[in-house]
Amino acid sequence: MAQILRALSKDKNIAIFIMESTDIVEYARKIHNLPPIPAAALGRLLTATSMMGIMLKGENHSVSVQISCSGVLKGLVAVSDSKGNVKGYVKNKEVLTEIDERGKLNVKGAIGEGTLTVIKDLGLKEPYIGQIELVSGEIAEDITHYFAMSEQIPSAVALGVLIDRDESIKSAGGFIIQVLPETDEKVILELEQKLKDFSNISSVLENKSIEEIVKELFGNIEYEVLAKYHPIYKCDCSKEKVESIIPLLKDEEISNEIIEIVCIFCQKKYYFSKEEAFKIKYGE
């Protein structure tokens, strides 16, 4: 079962959000039938977005993180509610497996250049929108850059997805550490040293619980666990929501006796008769 832990130092200067997301990423891999590189890329984005979801304060708030890119993936989208329940998709999953110079899946190369956009629905008239240029294509580095540039929050982000030999997800997870500017410089340096031990977070999660990792990251710093969450991969699609797509279709696309529309997030299929489709489109 996926789990997120939220912890805060006693002086309230350091916040840690950490997630074990293996089940969520494996579910996404299965429903979208993803090969290794798209699975790793989407898994990282789902993990980050889920943790960003629990940062929201309102019950009905949500956050969407979108990557538009020049690489073969074409783009990725993930959406989370305030409980960390998340959904997502990759625009192009037909990607050959390529290993980079470090011996890891070349997710960076499959993303390439582009933008990262964060859209927060906070129940206001207009959503909050923040956008940055991708700095590397390594999703953790791009999320770190987003927090620094758009929210002015110094952060450290680690994300990882470990693919097994049968292409299933062996482990997945990550963390977001946020530090207030008034934090003692010595404390920050100690934390930076510890982060080097967690650069391959998916491998660490194979052997350690998120509680153990948080304890190691804080070290001698007193902290408390504020909350634990058990998010799932959750799509809120419905036939009524899918209907909104029909007016956008050309007449020839709804000329068959039965029209099939597939939810891009969960692959659920919805069916409309030709008569239903034309009535929805033209109100006749």
pLDDT digits (tens, 9 = 90+) for 224-264: 999 999 999 999 999 999 989 999 989 888 888 999 999 99
Tokens of 149: 């540039």
Q: Which of 77, 157, 147 is nearest to 114 (CA)?
A: 77
Question: Do 146 and 272 fall into the same domain?
Answer: no
Question: Do 166 and 275 fall into the same domain?
Answer: no
CATH number at residue 153: 3.55.30.10
The predicted structure's pLDDT at residue 253: 87
CATH number at residue 250: 3.90.1280.10
**Total number of domains in the chain:** 2
Residue at which a domain ends, from 229, 255, 273: 229
Question: Do 32 and 158 fall into the same domain?
Answer: yes
Question: Do 153 and 258 fall into the same domain?
Answer: no
Q: Considering the chain, what is the average pLDDT of its residues?
A: 92
Q: Does 216 map to a domain?
A: yes
Q: Does 234 map to a domain?
A: no
pLDDT digits (tens, 9 = 90+) for 31-49: 999 999 999 999 999 999 9
Question: Do 251 and 212 fall into the same domain?
Answer: no
Question: Do 10 and 134 fall into the same domain?
Answer: yes
Question: Do 136 and 269 fall into the same domain?
Answer: no
Question: Do 46 and 170 fall into the same domain?
Answer: yes
Q: Does 164 map to a domain?
A: yes
The predicted structure's pLDDT at residue 271: 94
Q: Does 15 map to a domain?
A: yes
pLDDT of residue 265 exceeding 90, the answer is yes
- CA distance linking residue 31 with residue 49, whole number of Å: 19
Q: Does 266 map to a domain?
A: yes
Q: In what order do the strands lie in the sheet with 128-133?
A: 86-90, 75-81, 62-69, 114-121, 128-133
pLDDT of residue 113 exceeding 90, the answer is yes
pLDDT confidence of 97, banded at 50, 70, 90?
A: confident
Question: Do 113 and 198 fall into the same domain?
Answer: yes
Least confident of 49-53, 158-162, 219-223: 219-223
Question: Do 42 and 175 fall into the same domain?
Answer: yes
pLDDT digits (tens, 9 = 90+) for 165-184: 999 999 999 999 998 877 77
Tell me which of 50 and 99 has the higher pLDDT.
50
245-279: b (≥16 Cβ within 10 Å) or e: ebeeeeeeebeeeebebebbbbeeebebeeebbbe
Domain containing 246 equals: 239-282
The predicted structure's pLDDT at residue 284: 62
pLDDT of residue 194 exceeding 70, the answer is yes
The predicted structure's pLDDT at residue 99: 77
Q: Does 14 map to a domain?
A: yes
- CA distance linking residue 85 with residue 79, whole number of Å: 8
Query: What percent of the chain clears pLDDT 70, i.e. is strictly above it?
Result: 100
- CA distance linking residue 155 with residue 144, whole number of Å: 6
Question: Do 141 and 262 fall into the same domain?
Answer: no
The predicted structure's pLDDT at residue 254: 85
Query: What percent of the chain clears pLDDT 90, i.e. is strictly above it?
Result: 71
Question: Do 141 and 180 fall into the same domain?
Answer: yes
pLDDT of residue 4 exceeding 90, the answer is yes
- CA distance linking residue 255 with residue 269, whole number of Å: 18
The predicted structure's pLDDT at residue 7: 96
How much is the average pLDDT of 113-132?
A: 95
How much is the average pLDDT of 109-138?
A: 94
pLDDT of residue 107 exceeding 80, the answer is yes
